[in-house]
Amino acid sequence: MDISRTSDVWWKNAIFYCLDVETFQDGNGDGVGDFVGLTRRLDHLDRLGVSCIWLMPFYPSPNQDDGYDITDYYAIDPRLGTMGEFVEFLRAANDRGMRVIADLVVNHTSREHPWFQSSRSDPSSPYRDWYVWRDEKPEEDASSLVFPGEEESSWTWDAKAGKYYLHRFYSHQPDLNVEHGAVRDEIRRIVGFWLQLGLSGFRVDAVPFLLEQMSTDDKGFAPHRWLRDLRAFINRRSGDAVLLGEVNLDYPDVRRFFGDEDGDELHMCLDFNLNQAMALAIARGDSGPLVHGLRHMPELAEDDGWAHFLRNHDEWSLDKLTEAERQEVFAVFGPDPEMQLFGRGLRRRMPTMLGGDEARLRMAYALMASMPGAPVIFYGEEIGMAENLEIPGRLAVRAPMQWENAPNGGFSSASADQLHRPVVSDPKYAPAKVNAADQQDDAGSFFHFMERLLRRRRECPEISFGRHSVLPMTEAEVFAIRHDWDDRTLIAIVNLGAEARTVTCALPDGAALGKPRPILGDGEVSLKKGQLTVELEGYGLRWIRFEG
């Protein structure tokens, strides 16, 4: 693929930034973030090098699952603003060269959605078949529960309907029945609506559940054909729109959601497999899990890509690790049971898990940004924000953004008790210590490092467009990956260990690659007789560019 095509498939080399409007910036002093506030903060994202903002759900919702329970797919939650303010925000983001995608949550609605209310109330309602109803409670395997300890079953009795309904998530989130043609038509209308307003695509929530086929009688619904149709539809409406899927399955199963060889289903998937390999590798200070993970990463079609992240808005799910590995990560990153969730994950952010060690934190983000795919940053990661464990469950990592050393961290002018969610209170990580304004003024800050990292990452399309190969290293603590594309080569080397070291790796074609030019990190680099030698500090990192 040559460089002129990279902008057509912009998603492959994008810098994604996930945020929740509700906790980003309050523009009217009511304690809840909104689109007016977010619009005022766009320059921060622009400066960071963000090229695509991913908005968590902003639709009307009773907010029993932080907006992932929707009551109207064609509107804005009035607490967050008006449709006019949304469009202003979109325009201002586009004006700065940033695209916007949004969560598409159509596996389920809120129980309060008028469709569900009609469906349960009247057997002859046109919405009756929009949900999955059963007279008898189907048998189920406890291991299939998404929220063990919080939900006992994926089927709940509805007295009004006199039937059980399916909900893969909370009982207040009944699953839509995509096998019903009218539901699929409605989903098209929803995506068409937001594309028309200017979104550049969607982060598709819970894709495997969305495509799940529940009926025994074959009504001609073929889940993957439908996903293919959906991609074709959005790209007819908007040639550059992207579907970024949440598919937390093992690699071979995730691969199926990209479509067959032509890759005509999801354009991208969040890479949960490599994410969990990173957790184990960082916890152990050992590159082994990454080498193993990359060996199993399936090949994708040319236009498709992976999206890599360290932490996201949910618990750090470690469900793909073995029980022993998971316990190992728990012991290092979250030994206290109150830091753990559902027996499979951690409700913490990176800085606290890494004991506040900034060198290690930089290493972790450089490692993530070196993986073949596009990086995804969760708001606050760029300033090293911590979690607030006083906020229940997964919401601990969704505290308000810390903008300055001011009341409520500059998030809102409301009184602290009016805030939608409390700010981080741990004095080591509270806004007085960790905030965007101070770090923007300090060239040695973590924010400056992240800005440099992400700017560099944008300049290195070989990471997402090229072929990658893991470079064998004699030291288990050192991870090295090579990306080759279009006459360019980039080598990223990361020291997962605390000890400084000088490492050497064989580059038999080194002479032909051209002069090595270090573009990230510190320490000597030399190439002699097919041997690349690199000095690394403890938790050091280097990106080396060769332009043949």
Q: Which residues bind ligand NOJ (CB under 6 A)?
A: 65, 68, 105, 169, 205-206, 246, 314
Residue with tokens 């700017």: 455
Q: How far is the CB of 105 from ligand NOJ (least distance, A)?
A: 5
Residue nearest to ligand NOJ (CB): 68
CA atoms within a 13 Å half-sphere pointing along the CA-CB vector of 520? 30
Q: How far is the CB of 207 from ligand NOJ (least distance, A)?
A: 10
In angstroms, the CA 174 to CA 104 distance is 16
Q: How far is the CB of 197 from ligand NOJ (least distance, A)?
A: 22
CA atoms within a 13 Å half-sphere pointing along the CA-CB vector of 51? 15
In angstroms, the CA 193 to CA 409 distance is 36
- For the range 504-513, what are the long-range contacts, defined as Cβ-Cβ under 8 Å and sequence gap of 24 or more? 504/531, 504/532, 504/533, 504/534, 505/471, 505/472, 505/473, 505/480, 505/531, 505/532, 505/534, 506/472, 506/530, 506/531, 506/532, 507/531, 507/532, 512/548, 513/489, 513/546, 513/548
Q: How far is the CB of 147 from ligand NOJ (least distance, A)?
A: 8
Q: How far is the CB of 246 from ligand NOJ (least distance, A)?
A: 6
Q: Which CB atom, from 170 or from 449, has the smaller least distance to ligand NOJ?
A: 170
- Determine whether 262 is an active site residue: no
Q: Which CB atom, from 311 or from 468, has the smaller least distance to ligand NOJ?
A: 311
Q: Which CB atom, from 13 or from 275, has the smaller least distance to ligand NOJ?
A: 275
Contacts of 438 (CB under 8 A, 6+ apart): 404, 405, 445
Rounded to a whole number, what is the distance in angstroms from the first to the last CA of the chain?
A: 17
In angstroms, the CA 518 to CA 543 distance is 6
Q: How far is the CB of 138 from ligand NOJ (least distance, A)?
A: 21
Q: Which CB atom, from 65 or from 304, has the smaller least distance to ligand NOJ?
A: 65
Pair 420, 32: CB distance under 8 Å: yes
Taking Cα atoms as reference points, which of 331, 371, 369, 359 lies closest to residue 497?
A: 359
Q: Which CB atom, from 89 or from 309, has the smaller least distance to ligand NOJ?
A: 309
Q: How far is the CB of 169 from ligand NOJ (least distance, A)?
A: 4
Which segments of 167-297 does DSSP mark as H helices, in order?
181-197, 207-210, 223-237, 251-256, 272-284, 288-296
Q: Which CB atom, from 342 or from 449, has the smaller least distance to ligand NOJ?
A: 342
In angstroms, the CA 543 to CA 520 distance is 5
Q: How far is the CB of 146 from ligand NOJ (least distance, A)?
A: 8
Burial 256-288 (b: 16+ CB within 10 A, else e): bbbbeeebbbbbbbbbbbbbbbbbbbbbbbbbe
DSSP reduced 3-state for 287: coil
Q: Which CB atom, from 206 or from 453, has the smaller least distance to ligand NOJ?
A: 206
Q: Which CB atom, from 105 or from 532, has the smaller least distance to ligand NOJ?
A: 105
Q: Which of 85, 205, 286, 382 is catalytic?
A: 205
Pair 293, 273: CB distance under 8 Å: yes
In angstroms, the CA 411 to CA 221 distance is 47
Write phi, then psi, for 504 (nearest 5 degrees): -130, 140
Q: How far is the CB of 529 from ligand NOJ (least distance, A)?
A: 50
**3-state per-residue secondary structure call for 97-137:** CCEEEEEECCCECCCCCHHHHHHHHCCCCCCHHHECEECCC
Pair 476, 464: CB distance under 8 Å: no
Q: How far is the CB of 205 from ligand NOJ (least distance, A)?
A: 5
Taking Cα atoms as reference points, which of 252, 180, 258, 245 lies closest to residue 214?
A: 180
- Determine whether 441 is an active site residue: no
Q: Which CB atom, from 85 or from 315, has the smaller least distance to ligand NOJ?
A: 315
Q: Which CB atom, from 22 or from 303, has the smaller least distance to ligand NOJ?
A: 22
Q: Which of 69, 246, 271, 381 is catalytic?
A: 246
Residues marked as catalytic: 205, 246
